Amino acid sequence: MLDKIVENARRNHTADLSEEERALANEFLMFQMKRVPDFFKQVAVDAEGQIETYIAKFEADGGKISESEKASLRDPAFVKRAVQNARVYGVGRQSDRILSAFAAKGLTVAHISPNEGSFILGSHPTARYAAPDGRKDLGHPDVELWLPVASDVAITLYGESGTESLVKLNNAGVTKINKTIFDQSTVVASGARSVLDALIGS
């Protein structure tokens, strides 16, 4: 699927994906976004509060919890595991909403014009841009989420559902995406040292 997108872009064609391939592209983009530790950590969890609520409700309903059992529930190691489990559940629960938001948009493929630079790869591989009104939720039609899939090709979900488009990016557009990925990543790589040098010096 990615090879098809890249090859078609280099031939100045849209992605021309089937429904199954488009669904796969949506899932690929979602997992690239979700595998980032920052995304995982942004799922808010108040484990301590939930544990205290559980204890209070259990006792209010006539249940009995010994002090040793309460201590076990409040143990930092148990709380840490509870936070991790809750975040895994929370991230998984977001998947359907994310895929629905992606399916409601078209697929745009961007190909870098000749001599206009190249994309970097980063440990945080996507670049998200807010809508003009400041909203950042993926369901907003003007929120963009970019993912480079080759040194000269990137994809984003934009436009009406079921549509495809191909755009050409100049150096300014490439640099904008690269800088976003560079600033939010702990590890970056590029086939062109000059690209990284420019980002380091910016």
3-state secondary structure 148-177: EEECCEEEEEEEECCCEEEEEECHHHHHHH
- On whether the CB atoms of residues 6 and 111 are closer than 8 A, the answer is no
CA 187 to chain centre: 16
CA 154 to chain centre: 14
- On whether the CB atoms of residues 78 and 56 are closer than 8 A, the answer is no
For the entire predicted model, the pTM comes to 0.74
Percent of the chain beyond pLDDT 70? 90
- How far apart (Å, rounded) are the C-alpha atoms in residues 22 and 24? 5
Q: What is the pLDDT along the chain (202 residues), one digit of tens a residue?
A: 999 999 999 999 999 999 999 999 999 998 888 766 655 555 556 667 777 887 888 777 777 778 888 787 888 888 778 777 776 666 666 688 889 999 999 999 999 998 999 999 998 899 999 999 998 888 899 999 999 999 999 999 988 999 999 999 999 999 999 999 999 898 899 988 889 988 987 7
Neighbours of 107 (CB within 10 A): 25
pLDDT in tens, 112-163: 998 999 999 998 899 999 999 998 888 899 999 999 999 999 999 988 999 9
